[in-house]
Amino acid sequence: MAKIKPSKGSPYARILGVGGYRPTRVVPNEVILETIDSSDEWIRSRSGIETRHWANDEETVAAMSVEASGKAIADAGITAGQIGAVVVSTVSHFKQTPAVATEIADKLGTNKAAAFDISAGCAGFGYGLTLAKGMVVEGSAEYVLVIGVERLSDLTDLEDRATAFLFGDGAGAVVVGPSEEPAIGPTVWGSEGDKSETIKQTVPWTEYDSAGKFPAITQEGQAVFRWAVFEMAKVAKEALDAAGITADELDVFIPHQANERIIDSMVKTLKLPQSVTVARDVRTTGNTSAASIPLAMERLLATGEAKSGDTALVIGFGAGLVYAATVVTLP
């Protein structure tokens, strides 16, 4: 019986570079108020959101991804030709096939990198990061590009008072590569499909013609809030335990940028010390789903609020309901 030759990967994996792209159009709450009965004060108090970015016709899912990825590749100090795999998390690429990852890989100039899309909503970046870590350690790719990208303005019902103000567009990317020491902890992830109705597309594409209205994202706000605050704090604690890290040893907390009230509640429930830097990119970027964590990471590093080598807890959660949390060393 023949024996399969063992893979030759790296002992560990780490994030080597990060990049982000926010569309040029900045949309303040005043624009949202043109189509819903609300107020700037109500939106800010309920979500913390002041502005968000919306893409124009040229700022496609692929175009934004290429911009963010180019920055991440340069930040990692490698070339596009060294990328062995491209993993894209998105729910707003409207072609069922081919995967937008293949277009991105080609436009970046990779050397026929493996490329595929995943759909895990706001937890998608965490799912992609976990897959990338496995590829680097297993040896199927030395460097993996993980992209979270969304054009949620295309899926926003501007007349829905509960969601019209929430969503923004953008792309965030990281390069994952070899490491001589642990720099991406074990992932605590999972799903709760019995709660799938709490965040969903209003109608499936097959019913679009008869529905007479383009599908949009809808959610049961209070149910999602309670689940995120209480259940995701438990998941975050499990991720800390799995990495052998205590809250006191954390430098940075980068949760999915869904809502500032959720972020504040998680900080309180986790009893994070004041010394921990907390990402609050939601204020000016809104909820960008799979893009929110890498975008927030990029901004913290760019502003100096976080620094290379910091220990960060990242956690994403959203439609499905799905979630993924891990501890990483910042690039």
Q: Which residues are catalytic?
A: 122, 256, 287
CA distance 214 to 200: 14
CA distance 182 to 137: 11
DSSP assignment of 164-204 equals TTTB-EEEEEEEEEEESS--B---EEEE-GGGGGGEEESS-
**What radius of gyration, in Å, describes the C-alpha atoms of the chain?**
19
Contact 188, 325 (CB under 8 A): yes
Dihedral of the alpha carbons of 11, 12, 17, 19, in degrees to the nearest 10 = 130
Dihedral of the alpha carbons of 225, 228, 233, 234, in degrees to the nearest 10 = 120
Which residues does residue 326 pair with via DSSP β-bridges, in sequence order?
314
Strands 143-151 and 169-179: antiparallel
98 prior amide bond cis, ω within 30: yes
Residue 58's alpha-carbon distances to 25, 29, 216, in angstroms, are 12, 23, 21
CA distance 49 to 105: 33
Task: Assign 86 to helix, strand or coil.
Answer: strand
Task: Assign 18 to helix, strand or coil.
Answer: strand
DSSP 8-state secondary structure symbol assigned to residue 309: T
Residue 151's alpha-carbon distances to 41, 148, 154, in angstroms, are 25, 11, 6
